[in-house]
Amino acid sequence: MNKIKIITEYTADLSPEIYEQMDIDPIPLYLTIAGKTYKDHIDITSRELYHLVDEYKELPRTSAANPNVFYTRFNKWLELGYQVLYLGIGSGFSATYQTARLVASEYAPDQVRVIDSKNLSSGIGLLVLKAARYRDQGDDLETIARKVERLVPLVRTQFAVNTLNYLHKGGRCSGTARIIGTLLKIKPIIRVVDGQMMVAKKPRGKFQAALQVLLNYLENDKDNLDPEFIMITHSEADEDAVYLREKIAEMVQVENILETKASAVISAHCGPRTIGILYILKEDEEKPASE
């Protein structure tokens, strides 16, 4: 059996325990604030990031991993006799994917494979976990890549956002300009559709209304869920995570409901108290994302 190393980024928003248990190798992206650059997860957490934003009164800039990061990481595992599967933040959100593809072109296809997740946060994480499962079942590199690529359009990613400041200034979400003038009382629902973030709904009032919209999406899809994982991923929204976990457990039966914390890079674009429910639909039950 060939040895296969799965490489992702900390933007996959899995826990350190999951990375270790599932034998997944994450790399950091970068944040710069007040003239200083930090490695995501290694040098800075979301909570520390928010403290810096409060202190310096500016939002951070994020940047992709450079080619040398990929050369170094790919070579490390190839020299140890592994094949490499890389699956990180989607091409619509970062230049990292294109950089990884460029570096991978220097190797044979049976050495390094790069997949576009077309997603972010634990939307990536769900695909990474599936890839690890396929690897552990004995699938070869080509088979794993093919199976994961089939799952990409079946990932459902939706977040409730408590403040539009981070999202709007980050410039990665269509629709924020139309509602930036009415920030008060709007708690937008952000969905990933066709590899891009969009404002899907604009509930007003208390944040509880936005949480209910997330649960409504899950309710709509519950008969078509892949039964292995549902993710609750958030940025400093611990109480909301407890609430959603209880509601999800009442609503659906799945093997694992996992709560994870958003990385600093993800938090830099969504802000505090952002929280999402993410899952995969069954392969034979694909349907368009709900409106």
At residue 283, the pLDDT reads 76
A 10 A CB-CB count for 34 gives: 11
Quickly tell me which residue has 């709904």 as its tokens: 201
| Domains of the chain, earliest start first | 3-32+63-152 (3.40.50.10170), 154-285 (3.30.1180.10)
- From start to end of the chain, where are the E strands? 3-9, 24-27, 30-33, 36-39, 61-63, 82-88, 112-116, 155-160, 173-174, 189-193, 196-201, 225-235, 256-261, 274-281
Name residue 252's amino acid.
V
Instruction: Report the C-alpha gap between 274 and 25 in whole angstroms.
Output: 26
At residue 182, the pLDDT reads 52
Name residue 230's amino acid.
I
Q: What is the pLDDT along the chain (291 residues), one digit of tens a residue?
A: 579 999 999 999 999 999 999 999 999 999 999 999 999 999 999 999 999 999 999 989 999 999 999 999 999 999 999 999 999 999 999 999 999 999 999 999 999 999 999 999 999 999 999 999 999 999 999 999 999 999 999 999 999 999 877 776 655 555 555 555 455 578 889 999 999 988 889 888 899 999 999 999 999 999 999 999 999 999 999 999 999 999 999 999 999 999 999 999 999 988 999 999 999 999 764 444 544
At residue 285, the pLDDT reads 46
By DSSP bridging, strand 196-201 and strand 173-174 are parallel
Contact 276/158 with Cβ under 8 angstroms? yes
